[in-house]
Amino acid sequence: MDKFKKWIRWIVLLILLFLFVSIMSRAIIISMYKPKECKVLFESPNIEILDSKATNANGYIYGCITNTTGEVLENKFIKLDCYSEYDNNINTGYAQIFRLEPGESQYFVISYRCEGTERAEISMSDTAPEYLLDPIDITLTQTQKLALVAGTLIVLYYMPAGYLFGIL
């Protein structure tokens, strides 16, 4: 009985340690994001930046676009250009507007990963890179799913005893 209580105590301590590390990691990551200035280069349609934050390695811009042009906006892209301190364009991100009627609003998020972003500018574009227009289809067929399950079972069966935390 004493050994059982000892195991329970260790399990509870591990769970508490996991929760503490998870919460502190999340708090540290959130505290690293600082507000970042983002300049909109056009008047119409109207873009309102709701949140714009970045770390030294990545960032995001959350905003709302409202169609004030009087015509339907269709298949347009919101383009985000990130510039270094030497005014070099170091990264570009896109958010697609599928169809926006006059007076309608649409929320968008553009995430970017690049080091050394000093300023960001938003513009409109009619085109985007090819990889955004033709996304990769990663759906698996039934045969591929079965092969994945079979491969996993084979690897687990031939794994050395005690390799997976001593469970097998």
Instruction: Give the CB-side neighbour count of residue 147, counting CA atoms within 13 A.
Output: 5
CATH at residue 44: 2.60.40.2440
Same domain assignment for residues 51 and 88: yes
Same domain assignment for residues 150 and 79: no
pLDDT tens sequence across 118-166: 889 999 988 887 776 555 556 778 888 899 999 988 888 877 766 666 5
Same domain assignment for residues 157 and 82: no
* Cβ contact 82:90 at 8 Å: yes
Residue 156: give the domain boundaries: 137-168
pLDDT under 50: residue ranges of the chain: 168
> What's the confidence (pLDDT) of residue 111?
87
Name the domain count of the chain: 2
CA-wise closest residue to 102 among 130, 73, 79, 74:
73
> What's the confidence (pLDDT) of residue 43?
86
> What's the confidence (pLDDT) of residue 37?
85
Rounded CA gap, 50 and 65, in Å? 10
Same domain assignment for residues 154 and 120: no
Instruction: Tokens for 118, please give them.
Output: 């000093």
> What's the confidence (pLDDT) of residue 135?
55
